[in-house]
Amino acid sequence: MRRWYSNRLVFLLVSLFFCIGLMLVSQAGVLAPIESLVATPLNVVAGLFTDVALSVSGGINDLATLQRLRERNADLEETLAQFQSEIVELREIASDYQRLAELLDYTTAVTNQDFVTADVIGSDTSAQRRTIIINRGARDGITEGMPVVTGQGLAGRIINVSANAARVLLITDRQSYVSGRLQSTRVEGTVQGQLSGNLRMSLISLGQTITVGDLVVTSGLGGNFPPNLTLGIVTSVYQREAELYQEADITSLINFDTLEFVLVMTSFQPVDFSIFQSETEN
Amino acid sequence: MGNYLSVPILALAVALQSGVIPQFRILGGSPDLVFLVVLAWSVHAPLEAGVTWAIVGGIMQDLLSAAPTGMSAIGIVLVVFLVSRLTEQLYSVGLLLLAGMVAVGTLIQQGVLFVLLWLMGTPVDLISDFTYVILPTMVYNLLFIWPVYWFIRRIQRRYTQDRRFFT
């Protein structure tokens, strides 16, 4: 009986040591080529399931929203008529801006970017992480660090690349940090992902004014993302006593649960600061 | 035979977890299919088979996750040992006991992941984790264990004749 328990304890310890060892080796990046190879068939199957699931959920959503869309359509037609006159004015302003920008030879980093369109073929299997897998990889020119966007703004950045797939760390992941600024007041801060799926902007100076509804965009500080990509809208502001900074909750305009397509900014290269760090150390 | 079955069944669970579950996510939570499949298998399987399923499932789950490979397996292996220890002292496993195993097992599995993430430097918050991950996962696991258990039992009865190694 005693020997029986002893055998089990040894078996438990051996199993746990194996898993911990595997985890440490994987964390060091030694297994990356093997992981990429083995994950390929799993990605293919997961991609097939994603297509089917998207079709089913899309069909369900279509039925549910049909009636709502009819009512919205009537409202929107009325609103459209009002906006027509505003569009004329805005076109005039845009034209003025274009001329001034040309005069100042002003170009933002976001213009002249090349994009690769990718399908989302899987999501992270861990509830603790917020990543997606896309069907474009090194063969399509994807490299680590490239920003990933949608029509609604910044979605994340590439963190792992295999030959024909890549993993995107979404901005809603807790390990995602993006330098952001409020579009209206140019107030800057750091935007971090939350488990709730929202974002939190922190390190905002106390004297700055933040208003609910303000649009938050990337600032470009740190060189990891181009400036002026939409991050979300401020939904609440926290200003606690005895704190050196204030914080704001931000909701992204992207519905990350139903992402189907994303754009990878292939022409943007993150700035490598490592050379400055090594010079400082020396 | 049981160990060979682990690869296709767990691959299916991982593909469903990655491809289908996120499309139907309600209130931010989702069931942990790999955990449920391994737990359902280990209830009526010898310890060494349960551990094999736990390691295979954990590795497959991490291959489609940003987590390092092997991280998910640690918690599942611990749960399998506890399940095995418990079931060997009982004549049969009732529904209430199975639900209890799922609830406690989810706490252990998610708790181990929480500690490992914290050790690796991920910014974690216990209240936030409990609200948005552990509690919803436990509720979904308690709902999904029944179809998973039914499916796994049918396969076990049909294809396996495992003997216990530690007799």
Collect all residues of chain A within an 8 Å Cβ-Cβ radius of residue B123.
174-175, 192
- Residue A245's pLDDT is 83
* A164 touching B (Cβ < 8 Å): no
CB A169 within 8 A of CB B103: no
Name the closest residue on chain A to residue B15, using Cα atoms.
A46
Collect all residues of chain A within an 8 Å Cβ-Cβ radius of residue B66.
124, 126, 129, 131, 159-160, 167, 169, 173
CB nearest B64 (choices: A56, A133, A257): A133
Read off the pLDDT band of B33 (50, 70, 90).
Answer: very high
CB nearest B129 (choices: A4, A57, A195): A195
Read off the pLDDT band of B76 (50, 70, 90).
Answer: very high
Maximal C-alpha separation, chain A? 89
Residues in chain A: 282
Report the range of poorest mean pLDDT among A64-73, A101-110, B37-46, B70-79.
Answer: A101-110
So what's the ipTM on this one? 0.84
CB nearest B16 (choices: A49, A56, A197): A49
- What tokens were used for B10? 């767990």
According to DSSP, the residues that pair with A231 across neighbouring strands are none
Distance from CA of A221 to the nearest CA of B (A): 22
- What tokens were used for A5? 């328990």
Collect all residues of chain B within an 8 Å Cβ-Cβ radius of residue A23.
68-71, 74, 116
* A31 touching B (Cβ < 8 Å): yes
Q: Which amino acid is at A23?
A: M
- Residue B142's pLDDT is 94
Does B27 score more than 80 pLDDT? no
CB nearest A53 (choices: B19, B71, B110): B19
* Rounded mean pLDDT, B40-62: 91
Collect all residues of chain A within an 8 Å Cβ-Cβ radius of residue B51.
11, 15
Cβ contacts from A onto B, under 8 A: 169
- Residue B163's pLDDT is 46
Q: Which amino acid is at A25?
A: V
Please, what are the averages of pLDDT over each run of 10 residues along chain A (282 residues)? 72 90 88 84 83 79 79 84 77 72 50 80 86 91 91 90 91 92 88 89 85 90 88 88 84 85 86 66 52
Residue with tokens 């987590």: B67
Q: In what helix (H) or strand (E) does residue B124 lie, and over which residues does it extend?
A: none
- What tokens were used for A203? 């390190």
Does B152 score more than 50 pLDDT? yes
- CB B67 to CB A47 under 8 A? no
DSSP state letters, chain A: -HHHHHHHHHHHHHHHHHHHHHHHHHHTTTTHHHHHHHHHHHHHHHHHHHHHHHHHHHHHHHHHHHHHHHHHHHHHHHHHHHHHHHHHHHHHHHHHHHHHHHHTT---TTTT--EEEEEEEEE-SSTT--EEEES--GGGT--TT-EEEETTEEEEEEEEE-SS-EEEEETTSTT-EEEEEETTT--EEEEEE-TTS-EEEEEEETT----TT-EEEE--TTSSS-TT-EEEEEEEEE--TT-SEEEEEEE-SS-GGG--EEEEETT------HHHHHHHH-
- CB A49 to CB B19 under 8 A? yes
Collect all residues of chain A within an 8 Å Cβ-Cβ radius of residue B21.
123
CB A268 within 8 A of CB A109: yes
Best probe of the B interface among A11, A19, A22, A174, by most B CBs < 10 A, is: A19
Q: Which amino acid is at B54?
A: A
- What tokens were used for A69? 């869309």
- Residue B67's pLDDT is 85
- CB B14 to CB A125 under 8 A? yes
Q: What's the rounded Cα separation, in Å, for the pair A66 and A63?
A: 5
Kindly report the number of other CB atoms within 10 A of residue A237's CB atom. Answer: 16
- What tokens were used for B117? 């993430």
Best probe of the B interface among A13, A24, A124, A126, by most B CBs < 10 A, is: A126
CB B82 within 8 A of CB B49: no
CB A181 within 8 A of CB A248: no
Does B74 score more than 90 pLDDT? yes
- Sign of dihedral through CA atoms A17, A20, A24, A25? positive
- CB A16 to CB B47 under 8 A? no
- CB A128 to CB B113 under 8 A? yes
The CA R_g of chain A, rounded to the nearest whole Å, is 24
Report chain B's mean pLDDT, rounded to a whole number.
86
Q: What is the pTM of this model?
A: 0.72
- Helices B71-87/B47-63 angle, 10° precision: 160
- pLDDT tens across B94-142, in order? 888 999 999 999 999 999 999 998 998 888 888 888 888 889 899 999 9
Read off the pLDDT band of B145 (50, 70, 90).
Answer: very high
Best probe of the A interface among B16, B38, B69, by most A CBs < 10 A, is: B69
According to DSSP, the residues that pair with A156 across neighbouring strands are A148, A170
